[in-house]
Each structure stands twice: as C-alpha cells, then as structure tokens.
Amino acid sequence: MTEKKNKKNLHTRRDFLKLTAGAVGSVGALSAVWPFMDSMNPAADTLAQASIEVDLTEIPEGSGKTVLWQGTPIFVRHRTPKEIEEAEKTPLKQLIDPETDKARVQRPEWLVVVGVCTHLGCVPLGQKPTDPRGDCGGWLCPCHGSQYDTSGRVCHGPAPTNLPIPPYRFVDDNTIKIGVTDD
C-alpha cells in the first residue's frame, strides 16, 4: 500500500518537474523569438526621419502638389472657394465615412491628405490638371474606381475610409511642415 503510494508520489513529482521545465523552456523560447520579430519593425532611423517643408506660394488656387514624406505621397491642394463650399455643404449622411470638412483642415483653402487610396494602396489621380477627378471633384483611384471629394472623403467605394490627414502644421502663412504637429 505505502509502496504504491510512494510510487504515485514519485510519478507526480516527476511529472511536475517535467511540466515546470517545459513551461520555463517554452517561455524562454518564445521570448527569444521576439527580438527577431521586432527587428522587422521600423528601425530607429526610419522612425526618426526628418519632417519636410512645403512652400505654398508655388501652388496656384485650384491645383495641387504631391510631395514625398517618409516614402508616402502627400497631396497638398489649394482649394477654390467653390470647392470649399462644396466640401462644407456635403451632408454627412451621404458619406461612407462621415466626417466634417472642418475637422479635416487647419485652414480651409489648404487640404493636406495622405495620397494613398484606403482600399488597397494605389495613388489616386486628380493632382495634375489633366487628371480625371471623378464625380465628386476630388480624386479618382485608377485601380478600383474609388472616388474622393474635395475634402479627401470617400464618396464612392470600394474604399472604406477617407484619405488620412498626416501630422502637419503651418510654420507661417506660406509654409507648412509635414511630419510634426508642434515644435
């Protein structure tokens, strides 16, 4: 009887030891994986990439300029009073991703958006005067036909959300700095 009990105790102790070792080993192996995974995340120099400045005096009313910031195209558009009015008057109910125009601009005549379609990442047309701008007067994505209005909001799918606004601020009346919000 006691012998049996001892044997049973021995077994449980052995199992407990194995389980503990297995658990400790797994934790170690999993933590060892992390540095290798994290090395594929953006590196310190990529994250610290300098901001860029855009001279607004070069952009006449009604046209836009595309600049590259951290490898991403940024659309800066000088909107006409008509375009501003259209953007402000669009009823929110009509929009796929409702957002007021006021929330998307710092100064109404200047619209700054990330020029990457929120559907699958193509660069929409509409920056050059000769480009088609779609039905809403903003941009038209050549890949799958998503359309954006003069506030960069999606007005026809398949894009699910509006063009995002990058961090930027006005250095003075004629210059914006993309990549920073404060000093």
Partner 1 sequence: MTKKKHPQRPSRPLYDNPVSKWIDKRLPVFTFIRHSLDEYPTPKNLNWLWNGGSLAGITLLIMIISGITLGMHYNPDPADAFNSIERIMRDVNYGWLIRYIHVNGASFFFILVYLHMFRSMYYGSYKAPRELLWIVGVLILLLMMATAFMGYVLPWGQMSFWGAKVITNLFSAIPVFGDSIVQWLLGGPNVDAPTLHRFFVLHYLLPFLIVAFVAIHLICLHQFGSNNPSGVEVKKSEDQIPFHPYYTVKDLYGLTIYLLVFAGFVFFAPNFFMEAVNYNPANPLVTPPHIAPEWYFLPFYAILRSFPDKLGGVIGMFSAVSVLFFLPWLDRSKIKSAAYRPMFRPLFWVFILNCLILGWIGQKPPQGWYLIIGRLATLYYFAHFLIILPVVGWLERPLTVPSSISEYCKREHNRRKK
Partner 2 sequence: MIRLFIIFILIISPPCLADATTRPPEQTHWSFATPLGTFDRSAMQRGFQVYKEVCSACHELSHIRFRELSALGFNDKEIKAIAADYSIKDGPNDEGEMFDRPALPGDSFPNPFPNEQAARASNGGAFPVDLSLIIKGREDGANYVHSLLTGYGSAPTDITLFEGKSYNPYFEGGQISMPPPLVDGQVTYVDGTPATVDQMSKDVVTFLSWASAPELEARRQMGLKVILYLIVFSMLMYFVYRSVWRNVK
Residue 140: CB atoms within 10 Å: 20
Q: Which of 30, 43, 50, 103 binds partner 1 (CB under 8 A)?
A: 43
Q: Which residues contact 104 (CB under 8 A, 6 or more apart)?
A: 111, 113, 151, 152, 153, 162, 165
- For residue 50, the partner it binds in partner 2, partner 1, none, with Cβ less than 5 to 8 A by kind, is partner 2
Residue 68 φ/ψ, nearest 5 degrees: -100, 125
Is there a contact between 72 and 138 (Cβ–Cβ < 8 Å)?
A: no
Catalytic residue check, 144: yes
Query: Judged by CB under 8 A, which stretch of 45-53, 81-89, 91-99, 147-155 contacts partner 2?
Result: 45-53
- For residue 24, the partner it binds in partner 1, partner 2, none, with Cβ less than 5 to 8 A by kind, is partner 2
Residue among 145 and 179 whose Cβ is closer to partner 2: 179
The catalytic position among 11, 78, 119, 144 is 144
Residue 94's Cβ-count burial label (10 Å; 0-12, 13-18, 19+) is: exposed
Query: Judged by CB under 8 A, which stretch of 46-54, 72-80, 110-118, 132-140 contacts partner 2?
Result: 46-54
Give the Cα separation of 64 and 79 in Å (integer). Answer: 8
If one asks whether residue 55 binds partner 2 (CB under 8 A), the answer comes out as yes
Q: Which of 48, 93, 130, 182 binds partner 2 (CB under 8 A)?
A: 48
Q: At 24, list the tokens.
A: 């400790």
Residue among 63 and 80 whose Cβ is closer to partner 2: 63
Give the Cα separation of 50 and 120 in Å (integer). Answer: 27
Number of residues that bind partner 2 (CB under 8 A): 15
If one asks whether residue 167 binds partner 2 (CB under 8 A), the answer comes out as no
Q: In Å, how far are 5, 46, 62 from 50, measured between CA atoms?
A: 71, 9, 29
Catalytic residues: 144
* Positions in the binding site for partner 2 (CB under 8 A): 14, 17-18, 20-21, 24-25, 28, 45, 48-51, 55, 58
Site of interaction with partner 1 (CB under 8 A): 25, 35-36, 38-41, 43-46
